[in-house]
Structure 1
Amino acid sequence: MHKSPLLDQMLELEKEYVGLFSGAIENDGTMRYIDSALPDMHTHNFIWYNSKQGLGEFVTEQIEKHDTKEKGFFRIETPYPISSKLIESFPVKPKICTYDLMYIETNKFSQLKGNLACNIFSAEDHKVLEDGMNVDIIANQTEMGLDFAQRRINRKAKVYSDNNKEIQFFVCYCDGVPIGSIEYMPFNGMIKLEDFDIIEEHQRKGFGTFVLKHLLEIAYNDNIEIAYLITDSADTAKEMYKKNGFMKIGEKTELLFFLE
C-alpha cells in the first residue's frame, strides 16, 4: 500500500484519537491500546500492526496467550492488505472488515447542499451533550445491545467534557428534536470526523449532508484544509460520502478474533 504524506498524517491523527480513550504501549512496529475504563470495547483495546511482514506469526502468538484468551477477544488493525492464504492459516477464523479512509478539502463545503431544516450545536452545553448521548444510544443499541451502547457513550462523554482534550461532539436537531451526532477532532491542520449517526427515520433526507457541510465550514474558517473519515468499505454510507465529494485515499484492515 502506497503511503502518501497525507495518508501518513491521517494515520498519525488516528493514533491521537485512540489515545484520547486508551493508553498506548509501542513496541517494534506495533502499538497496543488499552482502555481500562471499558476493556470490552474492541475499538479501544487492540493492536495496530504497522508492518508488511510477520503478521501471521504475531497473531498466532497473541491469540495463544493466556491473557488474551481471558479477555475473550483479540483485535488487530493494519494498513496493509492481508492475503486469504494468511487468514486461512490462523488457528481461529477472524471476522474481517476493510475500512476506507476518505478525505475532502474543506473549501468544498460551499458545494454541499443538504437539508436546511436543522440546527447543529456543539455539546458544550450539558443538555446538548445529553441529547447527543441519547442519539448515539438509539442509533447503536440494535447492533451493540442497550447495555454496551450506554456504557460506550458514557465513556466517550467523559472525554467530550474534558476541556483538555482536542475533540468536540456536535448534535443535529430537527424541529427541536435531536436526530444526529458526530465527533470532530482537529489535529495538525486536519480534522477527523467520527461516530457519525443520523437516526434511521431521518436518514436519506439530506440531514447528513448538511452536518458535513456545517463542520467543513467550521474547519475551513479555522484554516484547516483537510477533513477525513473512515467508513466500512461495504457500508451504504460510503456512497453518500462519495456523492458529497469525499475521495478514497487508503485502506486499513481489521481482524477480530473471538476466543472461548
Structure 2
Amino acid sequence: MTKAPAEVLRLRPVAAEDEAFLRKVYASTRATELAQVPWSAEQKAAFCDMQFTAQDTHYRANFTQAEYWVIERESVPAGRLYMERRDAEIHVIDIALLPEHQRSGFGTYLLKELMDEAAAEGKKVTIYVEKFNPALKLYQRLGYRHVEELGVYYLMEWLPAR
C-alpha cells in the first residue's frame, strides 16, 4: 500500500551542508532547457553552478523574511521549498522536486497545505512560474490564476473562498 504524502514528507530548514543537494535540484530544473544546447557536460555543470549562485544571492537579497526548506521523502532529500509569509499572502519563491519525486502527488500536497494555511488566515498564495514550466498546469488545476505577465514568467495567484 502506498503511503500518503503526510506520512512520508517532512520539511526541514536548509543547512549549510545541503548546498550540493540544492545545486542538484537547481540543475534538474534546467535539464530540459540545457539538453538543447551543444555544450559539454562540464560546461552545463559550470553554467548551472553559476546560475544557482546568482539565484540564491537574488533570493536572499530580495526575500529577507523567507523560509528555506528541504523537502524530505522518508528522510531522503527530495526537493526544496522556499517561501515568504507576508501580511496578506504566502509567496512561494520556489518549489522544486527532483525528477524521481515528481508526479507523485507530493508537490500537490505541499501546495494544498500552503493553501489551507492561507485560507485559514484569509491570505492569498502567489508564485511566479515560467511560461513553459510543466507545473503551470498543476497550478491551474489547483485554482491558481494568471494575474500578471513579467517576461518569461506568469504571476499566479490563488485566492481563498470568501
TM-score (norm 1): 0.44
Residue identity opposite 1:243 in structure 2: R
CA deviations over 1:168-214 (Å, ceiling 9, x no partner): 22221112222221321234422221332222222111011122133
Q: Which residue of 2 aligns with 1:118?
A: 8
**SS at the partner of 2:28?**
helix
Superposition RMSD in Å: 3.2
Q: Select the residue among 68, 73, 91 that pairs with 1:192.
A: 91
Match of 2:146 among 248, 255, 260: 248
| Alignment map for 1:18-97 (pairs within 5 Å) | none
1:136–1:181 contact (8 Å) kept in structure 2: no
Once the two structures are superposed, residues 39-73 of structure 1 have per-residue CA deviations (whole angstroms, 9 ceiling, x without a partner) of xxxxxxxxxxxxxxxxxxxxxxxxxxxxxxxxxxx
**Gapped runs of 5+ residues in structure 1?**
1-113, 255-260
2:109 paired residue among 199, 207, 210: 210
Partner in structure 2 of residue 227 of structure 1: 125
Compute the displacement of 1:228 (Å).
0.9
Which structure has the bigger radius of gyration?
Answer: 1
**2:70 alignment partner, one of 160, 171, 177:** 171
For 1:249, give the aligned amino acid.
Answer: V
Contact 2:90 2:114 in 1 (8 A): no
For the 8 Å contact 1:160–1:168, the answer to whether it is kept is no
Aligned length: 139
- CA deviation profile, 1:111-132 (whole Å, cap 9, x unmatched): xxx7335323243433455533
3-state DSSP class of the match of 1:165?
A: coil
Higher RCO structure, 1 or 2 (CA under 8 Å, sep 6+): 1
Contact 2:83 2:94 in 1 (8 A): no
Among 230, 236, 245, which residue is 2:134 paired with?
Answer: 236
SS of the aligned residue for 2:104 comes to coil
1:138 pairs with one of 28, 31, 43:
28
TM-score (norm 2): 0.64
Q: Report the Cα distance in structure 2 between the residues aligned to 1:129 and 1:119, rounded to whole angstroms.
A: 20
Structure 2: tracts of 5 or more residues without a match: 35-43, 153-162
In structure 2, the partner of 1:147 is: 46
Contact map agreement 2:12 2:71 (CA 8 A) in 1: no
